Amino acid sequence: MPQKLLWNGEKINLLIRYNFDTMGGIAVLGAGRVGNAIVQDLSEKHPVTAFDIDPVILNEIPANENVQTRQVDLRDTDFMQLLDGFELVINAVPGFMGYETLRKIITCKKNVVDISFFPEDPMDLDQLARSQKICAVVDCGVAPGMGNIILGRYNEIMDIQSYVCFVGGLPSERTWPYQYKAGFSPVDVIEEYVRPARYVVNRKQVIKEALSDPELIHFDKVGSLEAFNTDGLRTLIHTMDIPDMIEKTLRYPGSIEPLRILRESGFFSDDPVDIQGVSIKPVEFTSKLLFPLWNLRKEEEDITVMRITMKGNRDSTEEEVIYDLFDVKDSKNGISSMARTTGYTCTAVANLILEGKYHQEGINPPEYLGRDPDNFSYIINYLKSRNVVYTKTVKSE
Residue range 40-70, pLDDT digits in tens: 999 999 999 999 999 999 999 998 999 999 9
Per-residue model confidence as pLDDT tens digits over 348-384: 999 999 999 999 999 999 999 999 999 999 999 999 9
What local confidence, expressed as pLDDT, does residue 43 receive? Answer: 97
Task: Answer with the one of 335, 361, 379 that is the final residue of a domain.
Answer: 335
pLDDT at 10 over 90: no
The lowest-confidence range among 69-78, 268-277, 292-301, 316-325 is 292-301
pLDDT at 18 over 60: no
Task: Answer with the one of 315, 335, 355 that is the final residue of a domain.
Answer: 335
Inside any domain, residue 69: yes
* pLDDT band, very low/low/confident/very high, at 87 (cuts 50, 70, 90): very high
Looking at the fold, whether 12 and 100 belong to one and the same domain comes out as yes
Q: What is the mean pLDDT of residues 267-290?
A: 92
Inside any domain, residue 362: yes
Looking at the fold, whether 192 and 246 belong to one and the same domain comes out as yes
Task: Print the domain residue range for 253.
Answer: 146-335
Looking at the fold, whether 244 and 218 belong to one and the same domain comes out as yes
Sign of the alpha-carbon dihedral angle for 224, 225, 228, 230: negative
Looking at the fold, whether 19 and 161 belong to one and the same domain comes out as no
Task: Answer with the one of 335, 360, 376 that is the final residue of a domain.
Answer: 335
Q: What is the mean pLDDT of residues 153-181?
A: 94
Inside any domain, residue 396: no
Looking at the fold, whether 372 and 260 belong to one and the same domain comes out as no
Inside any domain, residue 397: no
Q: What is the mean pLDDT of residues 34-42?
A: 97
Looking at the fold, whether 300 and 351 belong to one and the same domain comes out as no
Inside any domain, residue 71: yes
CATH code of 51's domain:
3.40.50.720
Looking at the fold, whether 154 and 135 belong to one and the same domain comes out as no
Q: How many domains does the chain have?
A: 2
Provide the 10 A C-beta neighbour count for residue 397.
Answer: 8
Looking at the fold, whether 260 and 357 belong to one and the same domain comes out as no
* pLDDT band, very low/low/confident/very high, at 287 (cuts 50, 70, 90): confident
CATH code of 270's domain:
3.30.360.10
What local confidence, expressed as pLDDT, does residue 184 receive? Answer: 67
* pLDDT band, very low/low/confident/very high, at 299 (cuts 50, 70, 90): confident
Per-residue model confidence as pLDDT tens digits over 222-267: 999 999 999 999 999 999 999 999 999 999 999 999 999 999 999 9
What local confidence, expressed as pLDDT, does residue 170 receive? Answer: 95
pLDDT at 198 over 50: yes
Looking at the fold, whether 168 and 82 belong to one and the same domain comes out as no
Looking at the fold, whether 116 and 79 belong to one and the same domain comes out as yes
* pLDDT band, very low/low/confident/very high, at 21 (cuts 50, 70, 90): very low
Looking at the fold, whether 100 and 159 belong to one and the same domain comes out as no
Looking at the fold, whether 184 and 39 belong to one and the same domain comes out as no
Inside any domain, residue 1: no
Bigger pLDDT: 287 vs 101: 101
Percent of the chain with pLDDT over 70: 93
Inside any domain, residue 395: no
CA atoms within 13 A on the CB side of 132: 21
